[in-house]
Amino acid sequence: MQNPGRSATRWWVGLSAILCLLALAEARAGEPTCDPLAIDLTVTPQRTLIYPSLKETLKVEAARPEWADIVLIGDSLFAGWRSDLPAAFPSSSIYDFAVGGDRAPNVLWRLESTDLSSLRPLAAALLIGTNDLAAGTPACAVATGIETIVERLQVIWPKTPVFVLTIPPRGADFHALDDRRLEVNRAIATLADRLPNVHAVAIDDDAFTCGQYDKSRQANAAAQRLSCGNYADDNLHFSTAGYVVLGNTLRAAAKAALGKDVFH
């Protein structure tokens, strides 16, 4: 004969479990979710629709070397470094696989259309996302696109450490798109927790903008244009001085992560 007390206990335990599941589902329902459409657009490889960028893509692909110590992947923020790379890294063979105007899906397309497997670099560096933000892409989708690129790089070069740089400040007062930019950068900071052999490289926003970023905003700040020697006149792209700072940032990150400077 079944014990009535035991049956009642089981009934209450079962009810409690159901109530807990319902409460959890309700809590999750209130959490913000990323628009699946935005994610799909960001992680689906797409050839650039910008004519100058497409011409640059062809040149970059045609310039693929037989081997490289370092591969840079990204948009104009890396592409603008191309002419100064020999001076910045005199002891390394650098392949600048970056194209101006690129967004995350364009990088994914180039990684699919160009065979880079034979390069086997000592390290890869990724800087992408500012154009995605400028196009209005939600931060969560930009972060997903960046992570997808990193995962693709790990398939191409399973043993190569990948250094992912945070998106630097931009705009007249260096605070344009900050609400989403900072959210993406927080996601970049956690990549190493989820992916092996991946290292987040945090660009110091205030130091990189010559101490302008942390200055208190005044009422008319939006009408003011700040300046910094690390930036070009558009407060988006970098000057030669900015690339020197960027190179030093990568060197420090490599030493901290790998115990040696592979960016030399």
> What is the pLDDT at residue 215?
82
**Which of 48-62, 106-120, 168-182, 206-220 has the weakest average pLDDT?**
206-220
Same domain assignment for residues 131 and 86? yes
* Pair 115, 9 in one domain: no
**16 and 85 inside one domain:** no
pLDDT at residue 121, as a whole number: 97
User: Could you tell me if residue 65 is inside a domain?
Assistant: yes
| One domain, residues 25 and 156 | no
- The predicted pLDDT at position 225 comes to 85
Q: Do residues 178 and 216 lie in contact, with contact meaning Cβ atoms separated by under 8 Å?
A: no
Convert the pLDDT of each residue in 16-31 to its tens digit. 444 444 444 444 445 5
Residue 53 maps to a domain: yes
Residue 217 pLDDT exceeds 70: no
Same domain, 92 and 221: yes
- Residue 221 pLDDT: 53
CATH number of residue 181's parent domain: 3.40.50.1110
- CB atoms near residue 16 (< 10 Å): 10
- Please tell me whether residues 54 and 107 are part of one structural domain: yes
Prediction pTM value: 0.86
Please tell me whether residues 19 and 40 are part of one structural domain.
Answer: no
Residue 263 domain flag: no
157 within domain boundaries: yes
Residues 121 and 140 in one domain: yes
**Does residue 176 share a domain with residue 216?**
yes
Domain enclosing residue 15, as ranges: 1-31
* CA separation for the pair 38, 22 (Å, rounded): 29
Q: Are 99 and 110 in contact (CB under 8 A)?
A: yes
Tell me whether residue 56 is in a domain: yes
In a domain? residue 162: yes
Closest CA to 66 of 19, 116, 2, 32: 116
pLDDT at position 155: 97
Q: Report the mean per-residue pLDDT for the chain.
A: 89
DSSP letter for 89, please.
-
Q: Is 132 found in the same domain as 246?
A: yes
Residue labelled with tokens 């110590």? 69
In a domain, 130, yes or no: yes
The single-letter code of the amino acid at 199 is H
